[in-house]
């Protein structure tokens, strides 16, 4: 099934093999273990099947992989010092390498799919985006992953509040509508707890992540020191709580700093760059190029370059997503979780009620019932429903005409509001005008049908006769042109073949005359010699001459029978009339 999907996405078999190879390498990397050496502060890689298989799949030697996982090269002036890693450092290097390969593989596959879908298409500015994100999460132990997921849900909930409450009520106020404001539970304070600079959870997390010796406990204490005044925050020794829109969640700070750093050591990049696998070389070069661009933009050396943290990257991507969502016309579907155990057939009343309260669904229902979901500008309203006014009605500005239409059909004043630029209607009120408009249009169609009915057949037959005449003329003209072209083509072919045959006959005639002349010359020479050797009477000479003439005539007949008759027969087969244009007085051998 997976291979079929990859084939459909346009990913070649060779690329699929590379992708599966990288996934296998990541899995084998996770099976690599370490053992303490010396005083226990340093470690070395345990030589096992996992090391050999991972190195083979990654296109490097097992020794190079073991060194990259257990040691670190430090630049000291012009010299490089090799330092052994601790157990935790080695585990972090191994996990960071596996995550780096897998993350780049994921991006590479997504890029392949996007290129395949975009092939031969031009950008139109319109797009369909699929947002796949986890829902709000609250487990017995919540870590950095739940922190990011719940932060994203908090931001999306703010987007929902903005469109359902803030923008709705702001539009009423700006357009001069008499409106009783509906209060709702805003989550802006919770978002400030995440995003505020310089004192926000993400800012403080990034600050601690820049120190190698910082600990998760120090991070928890720093949060408690700076954020205890925020009503959405509750701190403890090694954990902290956030009061989200869906309820309070307690986060364990263990592993927060390491997960946020997600650093890739230069030794790892160097190992991947020297790999024999092109895909790993591509990942390493892309990372190095990105690091150089970022480092040069802030005027620091590559060795001092600090990679952007996971939390900051996540926040930036989330902001870009919100910018895209702000440019759309959103529709919201709220999903209610019946229970936390993910068991079918179980309905927890308290949980459902808490979700209804946290999602502010009661306020949404209230603003929907008291609001005006149908709205049109004055110009749009007049253009659509202006036909409902009598013809003798005075045509004024769109606002006056709109009010006249509403009064004519007895639309109750409490069912609509007239703003500076728009008309606002409660649910179901515009249906009345639509029904009347439908009746008017139906009557107009009936009148048109009665008028055009008698005239339509006559007009149709007239039009049909004209079309037939035009078709006949066009078909005749096309046939005449085709016949003329056919005659010209046949004449050209006939002339060409006649010329070729005429040339052949003339060549044959020339050859025959040449041969006869040569033969006649030889005979004359022989006759002359005989006459000189033995003189004969005049009567005898005349007989010899007549005999020579008869001989030439017989030769000519034989040549004509052998050469000329087949040529003339070929001409007769081609149905051509052949005329020899040679002058009559010219004779063969004469």
Cβ contact 283:104 at 8 Å: yes
Find, among 178, 136, 177, the residue nearest to 154 by Cα.
Answer: 136
Segment-wise mean pLDDT, segments of 10 residues, the chain, 590 residues: 89 93 96 87 90 95 93 80 87 91 94 81 68 81 94 92 86 88 85 93 94 90 92 91 92 92 85 93 87 53 56 92 86 83 89 85 81 89 88 78 87 89 88 88 84 76 90 93 90 86 88 89 81 57 59 61 55 45 43
Per-residue pLDDT tens for 100-114?
999 999 999 999 988
State how far the Cα of 280 lies from the Cα of 285, in Å rounded to an integer.
9
CA distance linking residue 463 with residue 552, whole number of Å: 82
pLDDT of residue 533: 67
Q: Is the CB of residue 150 less than 8 Å from the CB of residue 137?
A: yes
DSSP 352-392: HHHHHHHTTHHHHHHHHHHS--EEEEHHHHHHHHGGGS-TT
Q: Which ranges constitute the DSSP H helices of 266-348?
A: 266-273, 278-297, 310-326
The dihedral region occupied by 466, where left means phi > 0, alpha psi between -120 and 50, and beta the remainder, is alpha
- pLDDT for 97 equals 93
Task: Say what the pTM is.
Answer: 0.63
What local confidence, expressed as pLDDT, does residue 65 receive?
Answer: 94
CB–CB of 25/55 below 8 Å?
Answer: no
* Tokens matching residue 505: 């006959």
Residue 479 confidence (pLDDT): 93
The pLDDT > 70 percentage for the chain reads 85
Q: Collect all residues with Cβ–Cβ distance below 8 Å to 405 and sequence separation of at least 6.
A: 381, 382, 385, 386, 388, 389, 433
pLDDT score, position 555: 62
**Three-class DSSP category at 228:** coil
């Amino acid at each position: 099934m997976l291979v079929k999907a990859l084939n459909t996405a346009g990913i070649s078999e060779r690329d699929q093999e590379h992708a599966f190879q990288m996934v296998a390498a990541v899995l084998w990397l996770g099976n690599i273990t370490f053992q303490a050496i010396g005083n226990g502060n340093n470690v070395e890689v345990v030589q096992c099947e996992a090391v050999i298989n991972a190195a083979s799949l990654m296109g490097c030697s097992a020794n190079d992989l073991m060194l990259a996982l257990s040691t670190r090269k430090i630049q000291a002036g012009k010299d490089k010092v090799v330092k052994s890693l601790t157990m935790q450092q080695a585990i972090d290097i191994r996990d960071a390498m596996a995550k780096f390969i897998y993350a780049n593989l994921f991006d590479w596959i997504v890029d392949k799919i996007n290129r395949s879908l975009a092939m031969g298409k031009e950008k139109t500015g319109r797009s369909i985006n699929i947002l796949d994100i986890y829902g709000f999460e609250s487990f017995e132990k919540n870590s950095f992953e739940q922190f990011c997921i719940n932060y994203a849900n908090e931001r999306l909930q703010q987007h929902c509040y903005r469109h359902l409450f803030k923008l709705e009520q702001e539009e009423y106020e700006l357009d001069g509508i008499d409106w009783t404001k509906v209060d709702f539970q805003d989550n802006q304070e919770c978002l400030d707890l995440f995003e505020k600079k310089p004192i926000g959870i993400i800012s403080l997390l990034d600050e601690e992540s820049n120190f190698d010796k910082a600990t998760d406990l120090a991070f928890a204490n720093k949060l408690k020191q700076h954020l205890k005044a925020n009503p959405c925050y509750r701190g403890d020794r090694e954990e902290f709580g956030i009061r989200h829109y869906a309820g309070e969640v307690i986060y364990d700070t263990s592993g927060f700093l390491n997960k946020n750093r997600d650093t890739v050591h230069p030794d790892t990049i160097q190992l991947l760059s020297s790999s024999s696998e092109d895909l790993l070389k591509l990942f390493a070069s892309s990372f190095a190029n990105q690091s150089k661009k970022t480092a040069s933009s802030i005027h620091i050396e590559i060795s001092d370059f600090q990679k952007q943290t996971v939390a900051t990257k996540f926040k930036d991507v989330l902001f870009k997503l919100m910018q895209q969502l702000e440019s759309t016309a959103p529709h919201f579907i709220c999903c209610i979780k019946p229970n936390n155990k993910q068991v079918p057939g179980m309905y927890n009343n308290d949980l459902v009620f808490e979700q209804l309260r946290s999602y502010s669904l009661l306020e949404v229902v209230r603003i929907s019932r008291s609001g005006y979901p149908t709205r049109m500008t004055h110009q749009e309203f007049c253009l659509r429903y202006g036909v409902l006014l009598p013809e003798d009605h005075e045509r004024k500005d769109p606002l006056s005409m709109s009010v006249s239409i509403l009064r004519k059909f007895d639309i109750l004043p409490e069912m609509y509001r007239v703003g500076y630029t728009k008309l606002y209607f409660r649910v179901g009120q515009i249906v009345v005008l639509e029904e009347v408009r439908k009746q008017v249009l139906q009557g107009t169609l009936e009148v048109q049908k009665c008028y055009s009915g008698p005239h339509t057949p006559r007009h149709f037959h007239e039009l049909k006769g004209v079309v037939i005449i035009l078709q006949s003329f066009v078909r005749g003209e096309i046939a005449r042109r085709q016949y003329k072209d056919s005659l010209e083509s046949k004449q050209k072919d006939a002339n060409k073949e006649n010329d070729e045959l005429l040339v052949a006959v003339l060549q044959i005639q020339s050859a025959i005359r040449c041969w006869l002349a040569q033969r006649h010359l030889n005979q004359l020479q022989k006759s002359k010699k005989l006459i000189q050797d033995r003189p004969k009477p005049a009567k005898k000479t005349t007989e010899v001459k007549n005999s020579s003439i008869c001989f030439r005539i017989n030769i000519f007949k034989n040549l004509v029978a052998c050469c000329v008759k087949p040529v003339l027969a070929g001409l007769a087969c081609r149905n051509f009339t052949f005329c020899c244009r040679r002058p009559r007085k010219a004779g063969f051998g004469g």
